[in-house]
Homo-oligomer: A and B are copies of this chain.
Amino acid sequence: MAIFVQKFGGTSVGNPERIARCAMRVKQRVDEGHKVVVVVSAMGHTTDELIALAGKVSTTPSRRELDMLMATGEQVSVALVAMALESLGVPATSLTGGQAGITTDGAFGRARVTKVSRERLDRELTLGRVPVVCGFQGLSRDGELTTLGRGGSDTTAVALAAALQVAEHGGACEIFTDVDGVYTADPRLVPTAAKLARISYEEMLELALLGAQVMHPRSVLFGERYGVPIHVRHSQRPDEGTLICRETPDMEDVMVVGAALKPDLGRVSLRRIPNNPGVQGMLFEAVANAGIMVDDIVQTEFGEIASISFTVDHGDLADVKIAASQVLDKVGTGELAVEIGLAKVSVVGTGMKSHVGVASRMFTALGAAKIPIHNITTSEIKISCIVGREHAQRALAIAHEAFGLDKIGSKSQAEATAV
């Protein structure tokens, strides 16, 4: 008998019929003799509707009150899912985040889980009941309702799975969603993309940060820290999905497991500026103060003169330009250049660490296709190239093919290596 945490997203519980299908999914695991804890998000567009309602009452609602409001979305879902389970003969108990033992800090709207107590869950499981827990929310030590921010329900599921030690009990955290697993690339962009049977936390994290939307990076980090096996599956189909787990030796034999695309980037360059200590700090503090997330940073220097380039989302370019100009005024010398219409193509794989020639294979493939590379950044397990937006989708497909990703899918990665 294993323990499974099953998480259903907003689309999966979007209406009474879908809720009934989720309940069937839970019942299957229960019928197999396993213990199950369910985590659910708010139904469909509930969260958006609540935000719109708040907007009609106040132009500047406080984060605390928004959390009080938002938390009702998941509470509706858990009650309905528990009812659906009971109507199938599966004893179930809905629980708010707080009741389920999730303690957070007091940062409304983006609270961090600080503690998970498993007492209540254990009590329900011992009684043979299925706890159905509100995702996305917790209770602060002061007894305030908090929400976890983006990707919060996944984080709830992984945190509960960690507390319940599902790995030690042969179970997993199952994330049911509207895709059937993690693909070697976004299938809408690369039709030959294949579903991965397994992927390591590190790889998933890089892919998530690079634009893959299957899992939020935060929940993957949580899973890595506590070694929670995360199984990403389709909520309406029975197939096996993708298992996110610790890197195993055979995984290293695969150089690359996925390719990702971030479209619509812009690049800001400060050229010929004096490379004084502190100039980088001044620049990126100004950018951060403007509330802008920076993608990649590249610096080159020639003696005491440096150039700094960084990419940002296209929509942030205007704000970045203002902030960067002000810094340049303070520095006193140098010039500012802004390029638009860029995109970033990346490949990710733990295997890169032990293989040579990964970068050259990517550059050669893009070169053969006559796609100019504007910038290169690498980490231990990824290589990213900035290309023109007009080449972006083709560059993704070329990188995908160059590493044989279309042949990797649905086989174990050890098998895939043999290809």
Contact = CB atoms under 8 A, between A and B. Distances in A.
A242 B67 CA distance: 37
Most chain B CB within 10 A, of A19, A61, A69, is at A69
Interface string A70-100: 0110011011101110110000011010010
Nearest to A78: B68
A15 to B, nearest CB: 8
Interface string A19-39: 110000000000000000000
A58 interface: yes
Contacts of A16: 53, 56-57
Sorting the interface of chain A by its residue count into under 10, 10 to 19, 20 to 34 or 35 or more gives 35 or more
B68 A82 contact: yes
B59 A69 contact: no
A20 B57 contact: yes
Contacts of A19: 57
Number of copies of chain A assembled together: 2
Contact of A86 (B58, B80, B93, B143): B58
A84 B80 CA distance: 30
A60 B85 CA distance: 11
Most chain B CB within 10 A, of A50, A57, A94, is at A57
A80 B53 contact: yes
A62 interface: yes
A376 interface: no
A204 to B, nearest CB: 34
A61 B78 CA distance: 13
A75 B78 contact: no
A330 B144 CA distance: 60
Most chain B CB within 10 A, of A16, A62, A84, is at A62
Contacts of A390: none
A319 interface: no
A144 B58 CA distance: 31
A125 interface: no
Contact of A83 (B65, B82, B145): B65
A54 interface: yes
A65 to B, nearest CB: 5
Nearest to A81: B57
B57 A99 contact: no
A1 to B, nearest CB: 26
B94 A79 contact: no
Contact of A84 (B58, B72, B84, B143): B58
A66 interface: yes
Given A65-B86, A94-B68, A80 B60 contact: no
A133 to B, nearest CB: 12
A347 to B, nearest CB: 45
A96 B143 CA distance: 11
Contacts of A86: 58, 60-62, 65
Contacts of A58: 83-84, 86-87
Interface string A36-56: 000000000000001001101
A145 B145 CA distance: 14
Given A86-B62, A143-B99, A68 B57 contact: no
Contacts of A93: 64
3 smallest CB-CB distances across A and B, nearest first, come from A69-B79, A16-B56, A72-B72
27 contacts: A16-B56, A19-B57, A50-B76, A53-B76, A53-B80, A54-B80, A57-B80, A57-B84, A57-B87, A58-B86, A58-B87, A60-B86, A60-B87, A62-B83, A65-B79, A65-B83, A65-B94, A66-B79, A68-B82, A69-B76, A69-B79, A69-B80, A69-B83, A71-B75, A72-B72, A72-B75, A75-B75
